[in-house]
Amino acid sequence: MNDKPLSILVVGLGLIGGSFALSIKNSAFACKVSGFDLSSESVAEALEQGIIDQGVDSLESGVTQADVVMLSVPMLAMEKVLEQLSGFDLTGKVVTDVGSCKVSLVRAAERIFGRVPTNLLPGHPIAGSEKSGVAAAKEGLFKGHKVIITPLPDTEPEVISLVRKLWQACGAEVNAMDVQRHDEVLALTSHLPHLLAFSLVDTLAGNPENQDIFRYAAGGFRDFTRIAGSDPVMWHDVAVGNKDAILTALDQFSAGVENLRQAIIQQDSETMLGTFERARAARNHFASMLERRAYMTKELENGSQTYVARPGGSITGELRVPGDKSISHRSIMLGALAEGVTEVEGFLEGEDALATLQAFRDMGVNIEGPHEGKVTIHGVGMKGLKQPVGPLYLGNAGTAMRLMAGLMSAQDFDVTLTGDHSLSGRPMGRVVNPLRDMGASIETTEGGRPPLVIKGGQKLKGIDYDMPMASAQVQSCLLLAGMYAEGETATVAPGIVRDHTNRMLAGFGYPVAVEGSRVAIQGGGALTATAIDVPSDISSAAFFMVAASIAEGSDLTLKHVGINPTRTGVIDILKLMGADITLSNLQTVGGEPVADIRIKYAPLKGINIPEELVPLAIDEFPVLFVAAACAEGETLLTGAEELRVKESDRIQSMADGMAALGIDAQAKPDGMLIKGGKPFGAGTVDSHGDHRIAMAFAVASLRSEGEIRILDCANVATSFPNFVKLATRAGLNLVVSGN
């Protein structure tokens, strides 16, 4: 390859070729772009429009000068162009293409060259429009869109790297995929919808009443058939080029339509509603994936949010706070693998748990809901999951990714787990390494980060694993993999680990042996469907426990709160401070202990928080600091350095916020010293986008002498979707204002 500027030849100056030429020419990439097309008018127009720097009048002269040859001719012309290229010296050059089908291109290259040249990298931008020709070329066509490259085993790494850089310079995100898989995925997601749109419009156009039909066609028709305006030649070529995968996709679709047809004949409302509901949920999921945003983003979309919390009030009545996130995730996973139908109530309809739900739908599990916290999971049994069509997208859900890494390692199909930008930056080595010890085949990107590419069909064997950290996610991941492994899988934790997985496994009839810090499971068992009433999340309930404890005249009952002993530190700490908390209605649901918690106002006093309670209340310290600010005397927290690496540095964020309100709080490396009991006043605090800091200061307003403005609160919606509504119903004076 020559030195800069890179000489790029675009062959086929139509919509895609022209847009690529224009985008790369105007990017920061140092290059000179030449163009060749069968039509000399297209070349002249491209030159005139400034789409290319230079036109060439023969393919040979263009290729001779080029470092990179980008083929953007119609699919059926690709083979012919490759044949011509085979007559030229391609040494040191990179050849790539934009064709919509990849298997046919690779076969053509094999036929022509004997084997696919190591400098030929097939590619496909997932961007376009119904228009064609050079006049439709558009700079920015690929910005924010994906480009799939399909490297072959011996494609040169430098070739892959250069093609990636070119597309990235055009603003695209580049993903790699297997050639065959590309065609299967595109058959379903692009080719099938186009063929359906053509077919529908053609069917209606052939109707003698067509004038009337088109006259009265509503928005649905317009939306659904927009793509029937696409280039017929291109789609003919695609249908020819990707015949096998398209036929499979059409068969799948026909079976789905036939199902619906039968449901309509039999007036089977359950099937009809089930189909529509699942489709709607899947559509919403796709929409959020496509727009790279979370489910809960109505609030996030509006940009930053400020809470304005006014002083005074007391907290009374009965509340049920949202369901526990950890349990919501697990209910879907185990329900999906169980025999029979699992009914879930109180499911947290937050972004993370919904991502898990969608992942199992993508693996063929029939899941109804969620509707007001109710979810019905038709379990497929331990071996009933099906290979998803594409990667499983888990949004921001670290729990889902770590737990599913275990489950997916044991399936007999390949799967890729991906997530959003933030999840893609989190290291997964802590689960991947022990899973590999069990025999799993998992590839990660650098530093053990997602996506996780998991190869199916591996035989797992049990291991005895000394966990380097007390992590519920690691333990759960190995237990889930252990269900499929030969022999026993055991973990030993160096500290207290939240045990929701063991409990729920037991609730589904799968025994787990717990002996001190050793937790073990035997492979080869089965899960039996059950009913799960997801307990309210004690971490969400904690805000109201503190609120009722500090506001005079309060008397609040929080219903059905999970009181798993690994999570109840907040109750113990508040009681030590003198809070009036009583538990009633104790029961076990799906293996988890739950209770109603009644909190009455009581004057609090400062304490030294026992260090053994710290891991049991680690998420609750922001609001416990508020309790301490309202307590008579000093409260000292030590041994909680982990708070510095949560969603924000919670020690510093809380210390700064309390200082802004005039509270005497001194941050320590591993905790905080708070001298409480004195009045504190109005002020503005920054939550740093940390949901728990935001909610903690909202609670503080009950005792403040003036208005507290809390900045950057939109993230509250990800863990506690209806916080403001419940808080105001309970008695807080809280409003939201946009920035």
Give the residues lining the site for ligand NAP (CB under 6 A): 11-17, 36-39, 42, 72-75, 77, 80-81, 98-100, 124-125, 128-129, 132-133, 231, 234
Task: Provide the CA 277 distance to its chain's centre, in angstroms.
Answer: 20
Q: State how far the Cα of 100 lies from the Cα of 279, in Å rounded to an integer.
A: 26
Q: Please count the other Cβ atoms lying within 10 Å of the Cβ belonging to residue 616.
A: 20
Both structure tokens of 170: 């055009």
Helix/strand/coil (H/E/C) assignment for every residue in 108-170: HHHHHHCCCCCCEECEEECCCCCCCCHHHCCCCCCCCCEEEECCCCCCCHHHHHHHHHHHHHC
| Nearer to ligand NAP (CB atom), residue 133 or residue 509 | 133
Q: How far is the CB of 82 from ligand NAP (least distance, A)?
A: 10
Q: How far is residue 124 from each of residues 17, 52, 165, 489, measured CA to CA in Å?
A: 12, 21, 14, 43
- Terminal Cα distance for the chain, rounded: 52
- CA–CA separation, 78 vs 162, rounded Å? 21
HSE value, Cβ hemisphere, 13 Å, CA-based, for 84: 14
The answer to whether 311 and 683 have CB atoms below 8 angstroms apart is no
Q: Which is nearer to ligand NAP, 232 or 487 (CB)?
A: 232
In sequence order, the β-bridge partners of residue 738 are 305
Which residue lies nearer to ligand NAP by CB, 239 or 341? 239
Q: How far apart are CA 378 and CA 436, in angstroms?
A: 31
Closest by CA position to 380, among listed 449, 332, 323: 332
Q: How far is the CB of 289 from ligand NAP (least distance, A)?
A: 20
Nearer to ligand NAP, 102 or 692 (CB): 102
Q: Least distance from C-beta 20 to ligand NAP, angstroms?
A: 9
Catalytic pick among 420, 619, 686, 690 = 619
Name which of 601, 599, 604, 594 is nearest 634 in CA terms: 604
Least separation in angstroms between residue 59's CB and ligand NAP is 7
Q: How far is the CB of 203 from ligand NAP (least distance, A)?
A: 23
CB 389 within 8 A of CB 359: no
CB of 18 to ligand NAP, least distance (A): 7
Q: Is the peptide bond before 603 cis (omega within 30 degrees of 0)?
A: no
Question: Residue 54 Cβ, how far from ligand NAP at the closest point, in Å?
Answer: 16
Active site residue 251: no
Tell the smallest beta-carbon distance from residue 39 to ligand NAP (Å). Answer: 4
Nearest to ligand NAP of 236, 725 (CB atom): 236
Report the residue number whose CB is nearest to ligand NAP: 14
Which lies closer to ligand NAP via its Cβ, residue 42 or residue 536?
A: 42
Strand boundaries in 379-424, DSSP class E: 392-393, 415-418
Collapse the DSSP code of 603 into the 3-class scheme (helix H, G, I; strand E, B; otherwise coil) and give the result: coil
DSSP structure class, residue 632: B
Q: Residue 147 or residue 431: which is nearer to ligand NAP going by CB?
A: 147
Pairing of strands 488-492, 513-515: unpaired
Which C-beta is closer to ligand NAP: that of 16 or that of 166?
16
Residues annotated catalytic, as ranges:
619
